[in-house]
Amino acid sequence: MPEGNAAPPAEVRAMFDRISPVYDLMNQLISGFQEPRWRRRAVREARLGPGMAALDVACGTGKVAAALARAVGPSGRVVGLDFAPGMIDRAQRERTAAPGLSFVVGDALSLPFEDGAFDASTIAFGMRNLPDYARGFAEMSRVVRPGGRVVCLEISRPRSALGRAIQRWFDWIVPVIGRAAGQGDAYAYLVASTRGYPGPERIAAIMREVGLEDVRWTPLSGGIVTLHAGTKPTGWTRPA
Ligand SMILES: C[S@@+](CC[C@H](N)C(=O)[O-])C[C@H]1O[C@@H](n2cnc3c(N)ncnc32)[C@H](O)[C@@H]1O
């Protein structure tokens, strides 16, 4: 049994499809309007420059992909991938202004791209939804070039007193906001999926197990969110 989210992927996809119209607004409320800052940090860790190529996995409505597109400029290329067509539909409608930015429906566990096709791959608040974390990281590693970056931004269980206080608020407010928006089940899932997600040391270990090097992690906002990043070495081979 792989280490990953136990919820059936078809149910997860249907749930994200259903909440796609309210997703951006809910995210801002739930994060206390912190999410733009977290996303900027993730994009910085991708170490992109003009003309480079990047992939954002589990892109949702495309916020990180749009920020990556700004980092690579008009001569660069960014693809956002998500398995929920409702999310891709919103991304396509709302973020098509940037040249070189496109969105595609696809599965994070079987990315439809050649080995080494990108300079960096990112995933924001998507990894905890995958049924196999190692395979998710292995696929993100496979599609970046040697020397390229793999970046993961995800909700985590904080250890500091301040972080734990924020976490209690989060655990309480998320289902309340979810019910108010008529999406109680979906936001109860959000809380449950964060509880099952491994701590930062284990995520870093999985990243090393799939062959990434120079793996570092940084707690943000008291540790309610953690940013992991690693580099694909020369001679990387896909784990068996
Ligand atoms: C919490 S949302 C995050 C969206 C976006 N990255 C953001 O930062 O707002 C999680 C996303 O992961 C997507 N997802 C979950 N499992 C996936 C999979 N196996 N392949 C592709 N996308 C997946 C969902 O459809 C959803 O859009």
Token pair recorded at residue 119: 């300079």
The dihedrals phi and psi of 136, each to the nearest 5 degrees, come to -60, -50
The dihedrals phi and psi of 200, each to the nearest 5 degrees, come to -60, -35
In a domain, residue 234? The reply is no
Q: Closest residue (by CA) to atom 13 of ligand 1? A: 58
Q: List the one residue out of 160, 156, 126 whose CA is nearest residue 140.
A: 126
pTM, two decimal places = 0.93
The answer on pLDDT for 18 being more than 70 is yes
The pLDDT confidence band at residue 121, using thresholds 50, 70 and 90, is: very high
* Pocket residue to mutate for ligand 1, from 28, 55, 56, 82, most atoms within 8 A of Cβ: 82
Give the residue-averaged pLDDT of 169-182. Answer: 76
In a domain, residue 36? The reply is yes
Which amino acid appears at position 159 of this protein?
A: R
Torsion of CA 13, 16, 17, 23, to 10 degrees: -170
In a domain, residue 3? The reply is no
Which amino acid appears at position 146 of this protein?
A: P
Dump pLDDT digits (tens) for 38-78.
999 999 999 999 999 999 999 999 999 999 999 999 999 99
Look up the domain containing 186 and give its range. 9-226
In a domain, residue 151? The reply is yes
In a domain, residue 4? The reply is no
The dihedrals phi and psi of 70, each to the nearest 5 degrees, come to -65, -35
Euclidean distance between the first and the last CA atom of the chain, given in angstroms as a whole number? 15
> Within 10 A of 105 (CB to CB), how many other CB atoms are there?
14
Please tell me the distance from the alpha carbon of residue 162 to that of residue 116, in angstroms, as a whole number.
41
Q: List the one residue out of 23, 42, 11 whose CA is nearest residue 153.
A: 42
Which amino acid appears at position 70 of this protein?
A: R
* Residues linked to residue 229 through DSSP beta bridges, in sequence order: 151, 216
- The CATH number covering residue 32 comes to 3.40.50.150
Q: Closest residue (by CA) to atom 25 of ligand 1? A: 84
CA distances from 84 to 20, 57, 104, 186 (A): 9, 12, 10, 14
Name the domain count of the chain.
Answer: 1
Please tell me the distance from the alpha carbon of residue 39 to that of residue 28, in angstroms, as a whole number.
12
In a domain, residue 13? The reply is yes
Contact indicator for 73, 32 with CB cutoff of 8 Å: no
Shortest-distance atom of ligand 1 to CA 56 = 6
Residue with tokens 């899932």: 189
What is the side-by-side order of every strand in the sheet holding 213-220? 101-105, 77-82, 53-57, 118-124, 144-155, 225-231, 213-220
Shortest-distance atom of ligand 1 to CA 123 = 6
Radius of gyration of the chain (CA): 17
When mean pLDDT is compared across 14-23, 107-116, 124-133, 148-157, the lowest value belongs to 14-23
In a domain, residue 1? The reply is no
- Residue 59 CB less than 6 A away from ligand 1: yes
Dump pLDDT digits (tens) for 146-156.
999 999 999 99
Please tell me the distance from the alpha carbon of residue 21 to that of residue 61, in angstroms, as a whole number.
9
